[in-house]
Amino acid sequence: MQTDLRNRDLITEQEWTREEIDTLLDVAWDLKRKRALGESHALLRDKVLAMLFFFTSTRTRASFEAGMAQLGGHAMFIDSETTQISHGDTAKEIGEIIGRYADGIAIRQCDWNFGNQYIREVAAASRVPVLNMQCDVYHPFQILADLMTIQEKFGRDLRGKTINVSYAYASSYQKPLSVPQSLILLMTRYGMNVRLVNPPEFALMPDIIDQAKDNTRKSGGSFEMMDDFDAGFKDADIIYAKSWGCWMTTEDKNESAVIGKKYTNWITDERRMSLANEHAIYMHCLPADRNIEVTDGVIDGPQSVVYDEAENRLHVQKAAMALTMR
């Protein structure tokens, strides 16, 4: 167990060691038990987390606010559009100034080719830890919650388990690459057999692919890239099929939407779930485009763990805040 993570940024789990991630999960399970038993765990009494949002949110905002309250502190919501951030405040100024007001800064900035850079510029200027609530490259807390959920269902040793990380069609908007990229980065560190399934236009960033392959060499398991949607389901233990934009092909959102319509049949349905192992679970970070991205029968069915997954956002985030903001 790693006992000193004070003041550590969490921008991507790739920058934390396996031991540090396991420590965070150990703390998350302890805090989850305490909440289940009604035991007080006000570990951050009088602490303030500044939450800066450039994009709307449901689970992220609610879970961070609830988490800080349960830890005895306060979450301060900052909307970029209703503050001077929208026309003046620089990343350096935010890091310097908000870092003096608060004990931690959490940021959600998903603009393509900008979000991660912005978060790192804030972190460079901040005297307090910076937590990435999602950017254009990474979504660390979602994927830590995913790992926690998978370990709850299959045990801590995930070697030999197969996860299907697949593109799925959605009509709502052109979503970031951050979820599939963080998934393949973290799951390859745990010895899993990771399948990345996507149409050619919906590739991920090449350096992320290279890092995932390197993780596999170090931890065992396998990393396979495929373009056959049905084949990705065959004999899989975890199905994680969701939409993302074709940012590596075009930055034009309208063009991306047109390309996506070529793959409207990439939907997770009961037939495809039957191709997976009998005990397979269905995961999604939510919100999902129902009956477009996934059928109601799957997302509301017995193999779905999406609500456990969403709950675990609360616990891993509380663990990260407790460890870094003390």
Domain boundaries, the chain: 13-139+313-324, 142-309
Over range 115-134, report the average pLDDT: 98
Written as one letter, the residue type at 17 is T
Least confident of 62-66, 127-131, 250-254, 266-270: 250-254
pLDDT at residue 318, as a whole number: 99
Over range 89-95, report the average pLDDT: 97
- Pair 44, 73: CB distance under 8 Å: yes
- Pair 162, 237: CB distance under 8 Å: yes
**Is the model's pLDDT at 193 over the cut of 90?**
yes
Over range 115-125, report the average pLDDT: 98
In order, the DSSP letters of 157-214 are --TT-EEEEEE---SS----SHHHHHHHHHHGGGT-EEEEE--GGGPPPHHHHHHHHH
pLDDT at residue 125, as a whole number: 98
Whether the domain at 13-139+313-324 and the domain at 142-309 fall into the same CATH topology: yes
**Is the model's pLDDT at 87 over the cut of 90?**
no
Q: Which residues of 75-91 are buried (b: 16+ CB within 10 A; e: fewer)?
A: bbebebeeeebeeeeeb
Give 162's Cβ-side CA count (13 Å radius): 19
pLDDT at residue 282, as a whole number: 99
**Is the model's pLDDT at 233 over the cut of 90?**
yes
pLDDT at residue 172, as a whole number: 84
Over range 67-90, report the average pLDDT: 95
**Is the model's pLDDT at 248 over the cut of 90?**
yes
**What is the average pLDDT score of the chain?**
97
- CATH code at 142-309: 3.40.50.1370
Q: Which CATH number fits domain 13-139+313-324: 3.30.499.10, 3.20.20.10, 3.40.50.1370, 3.30.1330.60?
A: 3.40.50.1370
- CB count within 10 Å of CB 159 equals 11
- CB count within 10 Å of CB 176 equals 21
Q: What does pTM read for this prediction?
A: 0.97
**Is the model's pLDDT at 182 over the cut of 90?**
yes
Over range 218-231, report the average pLDDT: 97
pLDDT at residue 173, as a whole number: 81
Over range 249-275, report the average pLDDT: 96
**Is the model's pLDDT at 167 over the cut of 90?**
yes
Over range 71-99, report the average pLDDT: 95
